[in-house]
Amino acid sequence: MDLNELCRRDVIRFVGLGAAGLMIAPGRAFAQAKPLFRLDEQNSIHFLAGHFIPRFLTLPVEWEVKQFATSGQGRVSAFARGAIDCITTSWTYLAQMAFNDLPGTCISGMAGGGSRILVPAGSPIKTWEDLRGKRVGVVEYSFQDISFIYAVKKKGMDPFKDLKRVNLGSPAGVVAAMSTGQVEACAIFEPYASILMVERGAVMISNLSDDAFGITNGGMFMHNDFIKKYPEVTQDIVSATVKATEFVAANRGEWIERARQVTGQSEAVAKLAVENCTPSIDIPATTLRGIAKAMYELGIQNRDVTDDLNRYIDYKFLEKATGKTKDQLGYMA
């Protein structure tokens, strides 16, 4: 069964709701077209709660899944020009939205975990300090790399002087370099990390979450035009996102199966990857400010946007969906 078929089955419930509406009040139903909602699909394992959102919707929506790029940068570009209404991606792109004053708002958290620092099987490297002077493979300035740099600094080392950073361009490049001995360690995300562990015997020395910015690493960003035009649908999507996040956390078997469908990996790889992920709907201001500050200090952005971030976050949809206050959901004045 391919991914399109799985997605089709997930939308049956809310399509059925729309059909029920036609039967009860045909005049009204025909007069009101279903809102079109265009989501750029995110297939990283720690974001897979997004695949289950449609089954929890209660309002009729024409749910359209698009795939513009494999990188967050490509998704943000499509989002900025209005080609899609929503993206789910890492917190680094919230800083980018603030820096470029893009017309988007973070309305929910989603992803957590999903990163690892690995060394090859039999490596003498056991601790962060052992990384000193070693060749470490990275995808330069990805979320994992920024987290890695931040963690190295916290451990009292200079990530650019005390390590030999090797930019491998893509996660597949990291897997290849680790497999052939070109690097002695790497910072990578799932399922590539679990591929190396299952197929190459790589060993984890950190999950990065504990040593960098915390467990949460990404969320849902909605285009302001969609929020303004469809506030009730936006609320329904956020409520469904909360339920989908709770669902994958409680039903890891379905999460693993979806991971296998999306990535084509073995059950062993998918299971290990899912075990390294912790979904979170929180929007943690402390984490976001730390990431924005790190991006400025690294020269990725030439202006510090930490004080601007709150203008690109709206907690009210999460508050209504969860019954929690924004302070409980991560807000910090």
Q: Quote the pLDDT of residue 67.
A: 80
CB 124 within 8 A of CB 130: yes
Reported residue count of the chain is 333
Mean pLDDT of 33-53: 92
Q: Where in the chain is the domain with CATH 3.40.190.10?
A: 3-113+216-322, 115-206
Q: Is the pLDDT of residue 207 over 90?
A: yes
Domain 3-113+216-322: CATH superfamily, name plus number? Periplasmic binding protein-like II (3.40.190.10)
Q: Specify the pLDDT at position 98.
A: 95
Q: Rounded CA gap, 41 and 23, in Å?
A: 32
pLDDT at residue number 258? 96
Q: Which residue has the higher pLDDT, 56 or 1?
A: 56
The pLDDT value recorded for residue 32 is 57
pTM of the model: 0.86
| pLDDT tens sequence across 59-91 | 999 999 988 765 667 778 888 888 999 999 999
Higher per-residue confidence, 199 vs 12: 199
Of all residues in the chain, the percent with pLDDT exceeding 70 is: 89
What are φ and ψ of residue 133, in 5° steps? Answer: 80, 0
Into which CATH architecture does domain 115-206 fall? 3-Layer(aba) Sandwich (3.40)
Predicted pLDDT of residue 4: 40
CA distances from 223 to 18, 37, 230, 292 (A): 24, 10, 11, 21
β strands within 125-252, DSSP E: 135-138, 164-167, 185-189, 203-206, 216-223
3-state secondary structure of 81: coil
Within the chain, how many helices (H) and strands (E) appear? 13, 10
The conformation of residue 35, written as its DSSP 8-state character, comes to: P
